[in-house]
Amino acid sequence: MTEILGLYNYWIVIFLMMTGFYIVIARENLIKTIIGLNIFQTSVFLLYITMGKVTHGTAPILKASHGGESHGVEHGVEHGAEHGHELHAAAEGHVDLGVDAVKEVYSNPIPSVLMLTAIVVGIATTALALALVVRIREEYGTIEEDEILEMDRNS
Amino acid sequence: MNSFPIIRVITKLLIPYILLFGLYVQFHGDFGPGGGFQAGVIFAAALILYGLVYGLPAVHKVAPPKVIEKLTALGLLVYAGTGLACMLLGGNFLDYDMLNHGFLTELPAALDFLPGDKPHHFLPEGQHLGIFLVELGVGITVTAVMTMIFYAFAGRERVTT
Amino acid sequence: MIEQLPVLVIVIPLMAAPLFVLIGNRKLVLLLTQLVCWTVFGITVSLLSRMQYGPISYELGGWPSPYGIVYSVDYLSAFVMLFVSGLAAIVITYAPKSIDQEVHHSKHSLFYASYLLCMTGLLGMCITGDLFNVFVFLEISSLSSYALISLGKTRRAPLAALHYLIIGTVGATFFLIGIGLLYQMTGTLNMADIASRLQAVESSRTMLVAFAFMTVGLFIKMAVFPLHTWLPNAYTYAPSVVTCFIAATATKVSVYAFIRLIYVIFTPQFAFERLPLDQALMAFSLVGIFVASTAAIYQTNIKRLLAYSSVAQIGYMLLGISMSNVGGLTAGISHMFNHALIKGGLFMVVGCFALRIGSLKLEDLRGAGKTMPLTSFAWVVGGLGLIGVPMTAGFVSKWLLLTSALSLELWPVAVLMLLSSLLAVVYIWRVVEILYFSPASHLAQTAKEAPMAMLIPTYIVIGSTIVFGCWTVYSAGIAQAAAKSLLGISQAGGIQ
Amino acid sequence: MTPENLIWVAMLLPLVAIALVFIVGEKSPNIRESCTIGISVALFWVTTRLAGFVFSGGRPTFKLGEMLPGFEIAFTVEPLGMLFALVASGLWILTTIYAIGYMRGHHEKNQTRFYACFASAIFAALAAAFAANLFTLFVAYELMTISTYPLVTHHGDEKAKKGGRIYLGILLSTSVAFFMLAIAWTWTVAGTLEFTPGGILAQPNIDGKISDFQLSVLLGLFAFGIGKAAIMPFHRWLPAAMVAPTPVSALLHAVAVVKVGVFSILKVSIYIFGIDLISETRLGEGANPVMMSDWLCYLAGATILIASLVAMTKDNLKARLAYSTVSQLAYITLGAALATSDSVIGGGMHIAMHAVGKITLFFCAGAIYVGAHKTNISDMRGLGRAMPLTMGAFLLATLSIIGLPPGGGAWSKWFLALGTVQTGHFWLLAALMVSSLLNIAYLIPIPIRAFMTPIGETPMKFKEAPMMCVVPLCITAVGSVVLFFFGNEIYDVLLPIASSAR
């Protein structure tokens, strides 16, 4: 039971995903289709973000004592390698940052960062889709797909 | 919505703070949470709010569509230009470490008298400078794009069916 | 600067696109677009010529792999980039007159910017070694192609673009889900790193789900048979130039991504031995070839006819990929190249017809062979390539496919494949008869021959299908090198 | 010039002709046609030079390059191909002269396209004749199909379009569906496609890569895949192609196209299977195992008889000749399928004999059409008096086709009959004899009716076709008789291909 309930975030994701997908498939109204598409995309954002969250973890901000110094001094590959390693460790959920053995648990920032990009993509898609719908309405005078197809068939 | 004085006044009061908050988010981007995208959206929110309340002509005066269109491109160019600059300085694309300039990075002695904790950096360099520039570019583009989307939809004629 | 070439492929068009918006002058932008496209083509040529010294990898921002984003160039990606950028360049050289007629002047600079962005996205998908980056570039190319398609003259164009957008976004989101699940399992996004970590994970359920999502997502993007519904409308209603470019390159790049997915990330053992994907692919592609070719026979619009033929041709590529031996993979990869040339060329011919006749209905094209002899002849040559007549590029890939099917003793596949190419004879020859041996239609009678500025690029592409039909060192030869290097990765698993 | 150079010069000449024809174009037809004639004469001279080398035992080779890894475009000249090339290039001269008379007499359109396609068909025929491997042969074979399509649909009307559709449809379908499959199969089994004396499939057969039964299936794929050989039921394209102008029917459907088909079948049986493999592989258990090619022999026999019978029913002269061609082509296929050295030589000989005879008949049909505007045999009553030269030539050629001395066809039929006896196929011998009778029945009445009519009924308003038409047909008619006296020479020339097996 706990296994099923403990994964509640996935249940939510799946529920949203299917809701969105259903709307995309079933709705004739173009705007509603786009809304469905948005819900569908959002569910994926949630999937990523919940995946990155580590229980009791905080935001992954490096303390000045650690991050601040290292940034100014190290360069290039060394720097990158260390940085990458941290991120990588964070990805696995248990993080041991800093030599002074301060055990702090961070959430994995990468999924959130990825989603930032995906959100941008989503916005662009939605904007473009809406723009297309506006043009369609100007041309056909309706945004009901079945009516549009009917008009196309007749013309 | 021109005829609701309360909304007009409140909007006028709100907009400076929205803009200020946008700036905060923008310039905090290379230190902590925040950055160009969020800042851009906040900025654009201010413009859109203005447009909603005072009408499209008013906001066109503040941010002419032509300018906004060019800004979209400009922001992207700032971003890519930063990467290109790194390349021209001998590194890989977006290798910010190439942006180290060694100019006024430490606080000058003349300013020692300032009270409080002394900041680490005076002028950002390397990674900080790179991220700052990139975020700036992103901020400009996002502001412009968001506003442009608003313009595009708000500027359409009403269709009569 | 030479070591910077991999990133320049992306950066140059990416920076040029916003620059165009700033410039805004129609003529200047056109000139710059052509300049950029040819430069990028030059870079990809030099990248490919460097392949004999081994693959190149480029670390973005100096962050080493697997932490940073890596651009990696090997035979396969260099080859695909070469023909994508090459066709982009030749199509844009051909484009001005056609665009002048079909796209409103105020939109030209935005059109060229979108064109470059689309190319950037396609090239990026090829070059990047980071899985999430693939998604980003996929969306860049898709978004710009939605925009380009919606610029078509008829009012159906926006609707076709919107349909494509909805289906395409669902596909891309599926791909994104797959990436997420893979990331969850391996904690990395670098393709090579994922591959090595997946070997440790015995095929878990997550892996299966991830694989399924990504495969279906890409199937939508490459218009594999039952998921192809967006393609005919999108190709038909887009401006001619856009159709030339997208039809020649976009689906091929998705096929490329699919090859990477199977051969680099999941390994063919997983896809073809543990899962019966090879049989499924064969079934899908054969059914697709037959259904789409038959559909092509019954079309009355020449662009839609070619669109259905594209759906069918994707089947041949997948057929080759599903064989998972050097021969089959070589056939699949070289068919990507050959078909890009042939279909690009044929759509360029169609663009010439659109310019001079103004209609793409077959009945309006009747007798165009008299008034537009050069254009019509280009159709014949390209059509022969599509059918797969010897000495044309199409024959090379079909021959490779046939021999490798026989070497695997896939008799039914070989026979069905040959029978299916007879369908191509029917739909190509139908048009040939209409062009040459029918009483001229009202529109075709008064048409003039297409301008040289369009005919010369068309003939370069069509001519190259003959050149690469007779001389295959740089088409099938490179495809074979790519296939070998792909299978070299999986040789440990004992795939032949 | 070395023989190696002669090969590529020979193949280059038709290409030059294409270029010249296009450059000169409609502007000055006289120059265009003299170019074609000049080049065809040059080509004939080159092939005779080459023939000198080849018939004295040389096997010059010319490699053009690798088209695909492992698949070369290469040319090697051996006697059978040389004979075919000689026939094709020699008859090209005559056909060109004839075509000038015919096309001008008829005011045909699109003559530039006509001559260009003609030259490219000759190019394809030469490439096929010289092909060193099956792959090159296939490429040339397809090139032939494509380049002759515009000739078939030359008139551009609905009937021509329909004929062209059948022509292209059957030839392309069979070659793609069967021929290509057969080649790919051969390649996967044998690892080579080189034409090798003694065949390349014997070793894989011993190694068990291909069973006896599969060999038979492969032979079937080849026989049906080479649709140009017009084995029933894939013969429909040949009558359909008769919508073409007569010179086209003459050269292409008596010489180049159909002969490429049977030539390919001979090549395959001699150099891919090897006649020993065909004749020694037996299918079935028990006391009476059958030869693996038996079914093909009987199919060819059936084609011979059925096509002859169909020919009798045709009143249109060209249609009758077309079905006669189907029947005659099956002789050659029969020779390949019987796979004895005599039958193979007979088949090879028949390529030359039938070509010269049948082209004469077609020339005559065209001349009658030009001179008297008649296409139906029933209308030709008494024409012999008006057109004595034409009908006389017709009679001579008829003798050769039937296989009566002094027609050249007598020899090839003789060797084919020998082949049937050697392999014990007495039913086929009977078929050959019956078909000769049928030939008499459907060909002889034509000249007889033309000459043997009372003078009163003779319509005297017709006269001979232009000299450009009549001279070539007289030459070929004489040629078909002359060949009878050179039977021994041809036999000696072709002997190496049959004896190379061991």
Distance, in Å, from the CA atom of A90 to the CA atom of A86, rounded to the nearest integer, reads 6
Query: Is 60 exceeded by the pLDDT of residue A78?
Result: no
A75/B126 touch (CB, cutoff 8 Å), yes or no = yes
Residue D283: strand, helix, or coil: strand
Residue C24 backbone dihedrals phi, psi, to 5 degrees:
75, -15
Nearest-CA distance C345 → chain A (Å)? 30
* Residue B159 belongs to a domain: no
The residue among D335, D319, D342 whose CA lies nearest residue D249 is D319
Neighbours of C185 (CB within 10 A): 17
Compare all CA atoms of chain B with the CA of A65 and give the residue at the minimum distance: B120
Given the candidates 3.40.50.300, 1.10.8.870, 2.40.50.180, 1.10.287.3510, the CATH classification of the domain at A1-53+112-155 is 1.10.287.3510
Say what the pLDDT of residue D157 is: 80
Cis peptide before A109 (omega within 30 of 0): no
Touching partners of B (3+ C-beta pairs < 8 Å):
A, C
Nearest-CA distance C144 → chain A (Å)? 10
Amino acid letter for position D51? A
Query: Is 80 exceeded by the pLDDT of residue A65?
Result: no
Q: Copy the structure tokens of residue D495.
A: 């002997």
C63/A139 touch (CB, cutoff 8 Å), yes or no = no
Tens digits of residue pLDDT in D161-194 = 888 888 888 888 888 888 888 988 888 888 888 8
Query: Is 70 exceeded by the pLDDT of residue D460?
Result: no
Over range B128-134, report the average pLDDT: 84
Query: Is 90 exceeded by the pLDDT of residue D462?
Result: no
Q: How confident is the model at residue D314 (pLDDT cuts 50, 70, 90)?
A: confident
Chain C residues near residue D173 by CB distance under 8 angstroms: 422, 425
* Residue B161 belongs to a domain: no
Distance, in Å, from the CA atom of B64 to the CA atom of B50, rounded to the nearest integer, reads 13
C4/B87 touch (CB, cutoff 8 Å), yes or no = yes
Compare all CA atoms of chain A with the CA of B102 and give the residue at the minimum distance: A72
Closest in A75, A120, A137 to B97, CB measured: A75
Distance, in Å, from the CA atom of B139 to the CA atom of B136, rounded to the nearest integer, reads 5
Number of domains in chain B: 1
Chain C residues near residue A111 by CB distance under 8 angstroms: 180, 183
* Residue B17 belongs to a domain: yes
Residue indicated by tokens 């030749």: C90
Chain D residues at the C interface, defined by Cβ less than 8 Å, are 65-69, 71, 73, 138-139, 142-143, 146, 153, 156, 160-161, 164-165, 168-169, 172-173, 176-177, 180-181, 184-185, 187-188
What letter does residue D271 receive in the DSSP assignment? I
pLDDT in tens, chain C (496 residues): 678 888 889 989 988 988 888 887 888 999 999 999 999 999 999 999 888 888 888 888 778 877 888 898 988 999 999 999 999 999 999 988 888 888 888 888 889 999 999 999 999 999 998 999 999 999 999 999 999 999 988 888 999 999 999 999 999 999 999 999 999 888 888 888 888 888 877 668 888 899 999 999 999 999 988 888 899 999 999 999 999 999 999 999 999 999 999 888 888 888 787 888 888 888 889 999 999 999 999 999 999 999 999 999 999 999 998 888 888 899 999 999 999 999 999 999 999 999 988 888 888 888 888 888 889 999 999 999 998 888 888 888 888 898 888 888 888 888 888 888 889 888 998 898 888 878 888 888 888 888 888 999 999 999 999 888 888 888 888 888 888 888 874 433 333 3
The residue among D320, D386, D387 whose CA lies nearest residue D358 is D320
Say what the pLDDT of residue D447 is: 83
Closest in B73, B92, B97 to C21, CB measured: B73
Over range B63-91, report the average pLDDT: 87
A140/C146 touch (CB, cutoff 8 Å), yes or no = no
Distance, in Å, from the CA atom of D91 to the CA atom of D47, rounded to the nearest integer, reads 12
Query: Is 80 exceeded by the pLDDT of residue D109?
Result: no
* Residue C424 belongs to a domain: yes
* Residue B65 belongs to a domain: yes
D187/C403 touch (CB, cutoff 8 Å), yes or no = yes
Compare all CA atoms of chain B with the CA of C71 and give the residue at the minimum distance: B93
Compare all CA atoms of chain A with the CA of B161 and give the residue at the minimum distance: A141
Nearest-CA distance B7 → chain A (Å)? 28
C399/D161 touch (CB, cutoff 8 Å), yes or no = no
* Residue C374 belongs to a domain: yes
Q: Which of A7-16, B115-124, C204-213 has the lowest mean pLDDT?
A: B115-124
Q: How confident is the model at residue D230 (pLDDT cuts 50, 70, 90)?
A: confident
A71 touches chain B (CB under 8 A): yes
* Residue C324 belongs to a domain: yes
Cα angle B94-B95-B98, degrees, rounded to a multiple of 5:
125
A131 touches chain B (CB under 8 A): yes
* Residue B38 belongs to a domain: yes
Angstrom distances, CA of residue C285 to CA of A28, C52, C292, C312, C423: 31, 33, 10, 8, 15
Closest in C132, C158, C188 to A114, CB measured: C132
Amino acid letter for position D224? F
Over range A108-132, report the average pLDDT: 89
Neighbours of A151 (CB within 10 A): 14
Distance, in Å, from the CA atom of B124 to the CA atom of B130, rounded to the nearest integer, reads 9
Residue D132: strand, helix, or coil: coil
Q: Which of residues 162-181 of C touch A (CB under 8 A)?
A: 162, 165-166, 169-170, 173, 176-177, 180
Say what the pLDDT of residue D457 is: 55
Nearest-CA distance D22 → chain C (Å)? 14
Chain B residues near residue C11 by CB distance under 8 angstroms: 80, 83-84, 87, 93
The residue among C167, C165, C166, C180 whose CA lies nearest residue C135 is C180
Domain ranges of chain D: 3-280+291-499
Closest in A130, A134, A142 to B161, CB measured: A142
Angstrom distances, CA of residue B89 to CA of B93, B100, C474: 10, 10, 36
A141/B149 touch (CB, cutoff 8 Å), yes or no = no
Touching partners of D (3+ C-beta pairs < 8 Å):
C
Chain A residues near residue C158 by CB distance under 8 angstroms: 132, 135-136, 139
A25 touches chain C (CB under 8 A): no
Say what the pLDDT of residue B107 is: 64
Angstrom distances, CA of residue B157 to CA of A96, A135, B59, C408, C449: 59, 11, 18, 63, 41
Confidence check on the interface: ipTM exceeds 0.85, yes or no: no
Say what the pLDDT of residue D71 is: 78
Chain C residues near residue D139 by CB distance under 8 angstroms: 390-391
Strand partners, D63: D74
Query: Is 80 exceeded by the pLDDT of residue B112?
Result: no
Chain A residues near residue C161 by CB distance under 8 angstroms: 132
Nearest-CA distance B111 → chain A (Å)? 21
Mean pLDDT, all residues of chain D = 83
Domain ranges of chain A: 1-53+112-155, 61-107
Chain B residues at the C interface, defined by Cβ less than 8 Å, are 69-70, 72-74, 76-77, 80-81, 83-84, 86-87, 91-97
| Full residue range of the structural domain in which residue B94 is found | 5-154
Do at least 3 CB pairs under 8 Å connect D with C? yes
